[in-house]
Amino acid sequence: MKLLLVVSLLVSGPALADTTWATATGELDGHTIIYRYVEKLPAGFKTESQPERVDISWSYGDANNGMPPPDVNERQIRFEDLLAPLEPSIATLAVVRTGGGDKTWVYYTSNTDVFMRRLNDLLASEPRFPIEIVFNDDKQWALYWRFWRSVDRSTSDSGS
């Protein structure tokens, strides 16, 4: 499945100042899927420094055409904001997939134990989030690069 690149933009936060983000859309089982992903990694970034992939999924059902209802979306934004301190020293958020009743954040890290300790610290004061976490050995960032190559950039509207 080819994905259509919709827009790319430069994120201006201090941790990700040189990271170019983009969005793409696709379709799966009749549902629109929206992807937010790193289009261009910072200069000098070595993917091999973060060989472990952490997939964090939040299922919410597909009653809203597969997209999260507003109240769930607000909690998901809060969740992602809480995890921002993980970057860039502990992990890199590479892809966020939303649609089909599920939102998944794909992080890469050098150490899953450190990642989990920090994640638990960051979430300790919050009500429990309905997430599932799966760890994968992905030294080559295979999932990320496979996704990245699948994006159709022929209609891109680059903001960088």
Three-state secondary structure of 38-86:
EEECCCCCCHHHCCEEEEEEEECCCCCCCCCCHHHHHHHHHHHHHHHHH
DSSP annotation of 30 reads T
The domain total for the chain is 1
Q: Which residues of 42-57 are buried (b: 16+ CB within 10 A; e: fewer)?
A: eeeeebeebbbbbbbe
Query: What tokens does 70 get?
Result: 């507003």
> Could you tell me if residue 88 is inside a domain?
yes
CA dist., res. 109 & res. 83, Å (int): 13
Q: What is residue 11's predicted lDDT score, i.e. its pLDDT?
A: 38
- Res 115 pLDDT > 70: yes
Residue from 10, 28, 32 nearest 19 by CA: 10
> Could you tell me if residue 35 is inside a domain?
yes
> Could you tell me if residue 159 is inside a domain?
no
Residue from 38, 16, 43, 14 nearest 95 by CA: 38
> Could you tell me if residue 158 is inside a domain?
no
> Could you tell me if residue 157 is inside a domain?
no
CB distance 5 to 155 below 8 Å: yes
Q: What is residue 17's predicted lDDT score, i.e. its pLDDT?
A: 58
**Amino acid at the residue 106:** V
CA dist., res. 123 & res. 106, Å (int): 18
Q: What are 17-70's pLDDT values in tens digits? A: 578 999 999 998 888 999 999 999 988 899 999 999 999 999 998 788 899 999
Q: What is residue 69's predicted lDDT score, i.e. its pLDDT?
A: 95
**Rounded mean pLDDT, 122-136:** 97
Tell me the β-bridge partners of 24. 5, 35
> Could you tell me if residue 29 is inside a domain?
yes
Residues of the domain holding 65: 3-152
> Could you tell me if residue 138 is inside a domain?
yes
- Res 80 pLDDT > 70: yes
> Could you tell me if residue 148 is inside a domain?
yes
The percentage of the chain sitting over the pLDDT mark of 70, rounded to a whole number, equals 86
